[in-house]
């Protein structure tokens, strides 16, 4: 009978080869480290290139008083120009309240924060709440509100402007009967605000509807058992439960002061209607054909208002976040 036992020499050989096979595979700790490095490589590189590098360049340009390319002369002259612009008289003394151009730019920019927080967001909250109450054809209204966010902004602004532009606009005769010139400040700026409210409702309603939809039904049932009406249910159930979403939307609305420029640009096309904003001023000053001095002043302009407005946004977020802290579901 054939002996099937394994020789001792073969057993030793197998035991010696096992460590070699195991050494070919990386440990779990090493694979996790490689995975984390690969996944973080792109965002870290993007942060370094598009934020650190760009902002360092903008910071150096803001304090550069030289008008020659490649030269750096440390100076506060670019910031001095900002205060000089605030003191300059407006060329057209017939404008509303005889404000200078720099003051009009500030008022226009701050106005976007006001209409977003005190007009657009409350309207969006109310519409979202009543859509949640199973109104007839609620989904149709939701689609109508969201429609402006699907259409390209160039086409949407063109259609909005054509509604009141003479002689083809269907609202032009209405404004003419009231003696209102839509191309003159402040009517031109109010029309831009009206467009922002109309176009922004759909986006806000989608976000608020999603937040309200996550509220447990038991809370609404409890409010009905307590005979709470729509008013109390809205302020004592809906608002506290979606407060983090409201805080986020307020913060985003406040950033419009420094970032919004495309709406007035497309609606007014740099005409004499005085609809400039901080961002639109920077866009124009740093555009094609701008000198190095204009580019340096534009970066100083943006840096100056960012240093003022960014802490205000953080403070508002900090104090708003303290309200309804203990509420969760």
| pLDDT tens track for 226-271 | 888 888 999 989 999 999 999 999 999 999 999 999 899 888 865 5
- Percent of the chain whose pLDDT exceeds 70: 87
Query: Hey, which CATH number is domain 95-322, 1.10.3720.10, 1.10.300.10, 3.90.45.10, 1.10.10.370?
Result: 1.10.3720.10
pTM: 0.79
Please tell me the predicted confidence (pLDDT) of residue 326. 67
65, 296 Cβ separation under 8 angstroms: yes
Q: Residue 127: CB partners within 8 Å, gap ≥ 6?
A: 141, 145, 201, 205
For residue 30, give the DSSP letter: H
| Separation CA 126–CA 115 (nearest Å) | 15
Look at the chain and count its residues: 329
DSSP H or E stretch at residue 291 = none
100, 83 Cβ separation under 8 angstroms: no
Please tell me the predicted confidence (pLDDT) of residue 12. 52
Structure tokens given for 241: 């439960």
């Amino acid at each position: 009978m054939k002996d099937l036992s394994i020789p001792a020499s073969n057993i030793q050989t197998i035991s010696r080869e096992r460590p070699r096979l195991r050494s070919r595979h990386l440990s779990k700790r090493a694979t996790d480290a490689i995975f984390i490095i690969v996944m973080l490589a792109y965002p870290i590189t993007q942060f370094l290139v598009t934020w650190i590098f760009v902002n360092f360049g903008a910071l150096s340009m803001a304090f550069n008083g030289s008008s020659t390319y490649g030269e750096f002369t440390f100076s506060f002259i670019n910031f001095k120009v900002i205060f000089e612009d605030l003191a300059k008289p407006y060329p057209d003394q017939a404008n509303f309240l005889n404000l200078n151009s720099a003051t009009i730019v500030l008022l226009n920019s701050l106005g976007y924060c006001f209409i977003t927080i005190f007009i657009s967001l409350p309207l969006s909250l109310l519409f979202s709440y009543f859509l949640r109450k199973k109104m007839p054809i609620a989904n149709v209204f939701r689609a109508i509100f969201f429609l402006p966010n699907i259409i390209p902004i160039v086409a949407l602004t063109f259609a909005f402007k054509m509604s009141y532009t003479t002689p083809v606009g269907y609202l032009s005769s209405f404004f003419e009967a009231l003696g209102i010139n839509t191309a003159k400040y402040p009517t031109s700026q109010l029309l831009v605000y009206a467009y922002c409210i109309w176009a922004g409702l759909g986006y806000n309603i989608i976000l608020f509807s999603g937040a309200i939809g996550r509220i447990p039904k038991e809370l609404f049932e409890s409010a009905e058992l307590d005979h709470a009406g729509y008013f109390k249910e809205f302020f004592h159930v809906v608002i506290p439960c979606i407060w983090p979403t409201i805080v986020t939307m307020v913060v985003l609305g406040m950033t419009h002061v420094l970032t919004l420029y495309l709406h007035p640009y497309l609606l007014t096309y740099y005409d004499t209607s005085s609809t400039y904003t901080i961002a639109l001023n920077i866009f124009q000053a740093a555009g094609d054909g701008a000198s190095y001095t204009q580019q340096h002043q534009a970066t100083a302009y943006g840096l100056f208002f960012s240093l003022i407005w960014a802490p205000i946004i953080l403070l508002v977020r900090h104090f708003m976040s303290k309200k309804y802290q203990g509420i969760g579901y």
